[in-house]
Structure 1
């Protein structure tokens, strides 16, 4: 049994991410439906090194540097070369990425014949709260970008 409260354990990953987003200061949360099976959607989403640089404008590269089961470490490099170390939890249908300054996440669950997919982005420090408005503004763009990339990649596999 995990260390999460029982109520959180009973929520599916998208609902868990929605609850987490409600408590993130300056957070952005967006979700959408993809007409593709969850396995294909998650195969794309879980490709953090390949996909995050396409989805998050402030990430030029994202490299996994440590592996301990579902708990990983990663280094993100921005367009101007600034680096951030991340703790990552990556399990089927759930990804949570945290650095000292930002938090991000993705979740996916089966819905009908397709997949409900969600993303979260937010700041963890008061000095970045002004950036939060920008995060919220790009939320719809980011989920749209992810949905399109997943659609293209899963269609190519069929």
Structure 2
């Protein structure tokens, strides 16, 4: 199917509506959607590099660097300086970053609740399943390459 009314057009329209609602909800917390996503990722995986974070959220390293600079200037993240050449600095949320993130998660959850409010629980589960199928059609090759490079040669054959 092509043209106006196709599935991807509807998804893009929905994405724009959700982005606008999240931007509005996050503004009082002085966070952008990208800043929230990055801060949320860093809270779940503290110490990762900017390159790894960029691949995880699917944006360029340059965009991630810009967002990290803003989060750092606001006192929400720290970047460890390492002495080893070629090793990226580890990034972690500060206590202030954690506090802002907790408040921001609440308002983002409210946006999510608005999105699913008219759905029955079974429909929400089915939507999650179908979105997972759709996402699988577009693999994150950059993240896969980073993951492959991050596995030490001695544990390449090991299972998780």
TM class, shorter-length: under 0.3
Between Structure 1 and Structure 2, which shows a larger proportion of strand residues? Answer: 1
Question: What TM-score, normalized to structure 1?
Answer: 0.24
**Which structure has the bigger radius of gyration?**
2
Give the TM-score, by structure 2 length: 0.24
Greater fraction of residues in helix:
2
